[in-house]
C-alpha cells in the first residue's frame, strides 16, 4: 500500500492579522454599501492571522499581471526547494528516489511548470515524470494525494512527491468590490506544502481508496475571471452550503469500502471556512473536535488553498498521529464544485510511534 508521509509546510514571513484586515477594509472601502456585511463575513471566518509573500503595502498595489506572475515564479523558486527537502527527509528518501512530481497551484502560471526547474535544480532523475495541476483550486491538494495514490498503485515500488505552492495574495484585485471578493481578501493566505507518497514503507496514512465527486451545474460558483489584470476570484453566495450535497458523496465512498464516514478515527479536510467544517460535523454526525487540525490551519494561516489538506495532516503528525490501523478520511473541496476524497489507515512502521 502507498503511504502518505509527514508533510513539510512553510508560510511567508509577512503577517497580517484579522484586526489589520478589518481596518484595511474600512479605510479602502468606507463608502461601499455592503461594507458592514463584508466586515461581518470576514470576522466570522475565524482567521486570526495570515502570511503573505510581500509586505501589505506592496500587496495592496497592482503593478500588472506580468509583474505579479514574475514575482510568483521568483518566490516559488526561492521557497519551494527547502520545503521539498524537508518532506524528503521526513520520508527518508532522496531526490533520486522520486518517480513523479505532482505540482499543484492556482495562483500563478509557468510553462514549463516549476517541476522542470525543480528536476534540474534539485538533481531529480531526468526520467522523473511531471504532473502539474493548475485548475482545481483548493481541491487540488486532495487531487494530488489521489493521483499520487493512483501512480503508486500502478507502480508499486515507485515514490511520488506532492508539492502545493499557493501565493493567494498575488491575486488581490483592488478594483473588485463584490462581497465575495471582499470576503476572499480576508480569508486567503499564502503557503507552501510538500509530502511524499511512498510505494513501500513509511509512516503515515496508508492510502486504500480514492474518489471524486462534482455537484452538477455548479461550475460557476467558484471560478476565475481571467482578465488583463490577472485572476479575478468569483465566489457565489451558495458555496458555504455545499457540504450538504457533498457529505453523501463522502458517505458513499466510505460505504464502497465497507466503512461508515460518520464513524472514523480521523478526518483531514480542506478548511474553506468555518461553515464548511460546521456543516461537515452536522451532516456526517461527527464531533466538531474531529476537524480540529483543519480549523487550526484556518485560524492561523487562513485558507491556503491546495496546501490546507497537507498542513492539517502535518498538524496531526505533530500531535502524535493516530493508533496503528486507525481509519481516516482526507478530502479537498474546490471549483466544480468538486470533492477529491481519500480513505486510508494510519500506518506506524513496525507498530512504533510516529516520528
- Residues 137-170 as b/e (b if ≥16 CB within 10 A, e otherwise) read bbbbbbbbbbbbbebbeeeeebbbbbbbbbbbbb
Give the range among 18-22, 103-107, 110-114, 234-238 with minimum mean pLDDT: 234-238
115 by Cβ neighbours in 10 Å (0-12 / 13-18 / 19+) ranks as buried
Predicted local distance difference test score (pLDDT) of residue 196: 98
Q: Give the pLDDT confidence of 292-322 residue by residue, as tens digits.
A: 999 999 999 999 999 999 999 999 999 999 9
Residues annotated catalytic, as ranges:
138
pTM of the prediction?
A: 0.94
What 3-state DSSP class applies to 273? coil
Q: Give the pLDDT confidence of 96-125 residue by residue, as tens digits.
A: 999 999 999 999 999 999 999 999 999 999
Q: Give the pLDDT confidence of 57-88 residue by residue, as tens digits.
A: 999 999 999 999 999 999 999 999 999 999 99
Amino acid at each position: 500500500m502507498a503511504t502518505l508521509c509527514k508533510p513539510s509546510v512553510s508560510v511567508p514571513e509577512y503577517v497580517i492579522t484579522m484586526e489589520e484586515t478589518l481596518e484595511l477594509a474600512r479605510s479602502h472601502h468606507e463608502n461601499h454599501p455592503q461594507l458592514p456585511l463584508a466586515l461581518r463575513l470576514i470576522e466570522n471566518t475565524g482567521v486570526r492571522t495570515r502570511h503573505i509573500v510581500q509586505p501589505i503595502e506592496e500587496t495592496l498595489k497592482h503593478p500588472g499581471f506580468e509583474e505579479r506572475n514574475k514575482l510568483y515564479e521568483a518566490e516559488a523558486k526561492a521557497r519551494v526547494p527547502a520545503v521539498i527537502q524537508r518532506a524528503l527527509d521526513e520520508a527518508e528518501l532522496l531526490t533520486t528516489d522520486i518517480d513523479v512530481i505532482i505540482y499543484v497551484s492556482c495562483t500563478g502560471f509557468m510553462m514549463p511548470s516549476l517541476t522542470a526547474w525543480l528536476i534540474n535544480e534539485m538533481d531529480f532523475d531526468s526520467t522523473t515524470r511531471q504532473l502539474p495541476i493548475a485548475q482545481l483550486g483548493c481541491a487540488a491538494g486532495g487531487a494530488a494525494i489521489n493521483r499520487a495514490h493512483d501512480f503508486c498503485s500502478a507502480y508499486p515500488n515507485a515514490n511520488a512527491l506532492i508539492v502545493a505552492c499557493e501565493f493567494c495574495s498575488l491575486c488581490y484585485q483592488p478594483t473588485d468590490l463584490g462581497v465575495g471578493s471582499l470576503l476572499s481578501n480576508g480569508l486567503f493566505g499564502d503557503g507552501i506544502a510538500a509530502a511524499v507518497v511512498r510505494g513501500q514503507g513509511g509512516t503515515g496514512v496508508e492510502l486504500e481508496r480514492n474518489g471524486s465527486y462534482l455537484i452538477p451545474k455548479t461550475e460557476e460558483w467558484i471560478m476565475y475571471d481571467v482578465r488583463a489584470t490577472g485572476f479575478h476570484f468569483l465566489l457565489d453566495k451558495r458555496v458555504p452550503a455545499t457540504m450538504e450535497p457533498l457529505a453523501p458523496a463522502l458517505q458513499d465512498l466510505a460505504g464502497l469500502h465497507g466503512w461508515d464516514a460518520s464513524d472514523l478515527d480521523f478526518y483531514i479536510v480542506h478548511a474553506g471556512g468555518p461553515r464548511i467544517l460546521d456543516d461537515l460535523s452536522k451532516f456526517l454526525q461527527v464531533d466538531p473536535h474531529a476537524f480540529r487540525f483543519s480549523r487550526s490551519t484556518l485560524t492561523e494561516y487562513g485558507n491556503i488553498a491546495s496546501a490546507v489538506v497537507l498542513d492539517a495532516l502535518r498538524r496531526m503528525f505533530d500531535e502524535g498521529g493516530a493508533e496503528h490501523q486507525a481509519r481516516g478520511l482526507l478530502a479537498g473541496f474546490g471549483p466544480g464544485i468538486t470533492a477529491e476524497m481519500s480513505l486510508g489507515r494510519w500506518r506506524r512502521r513496525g507498530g512504533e510511534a510516529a516520528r
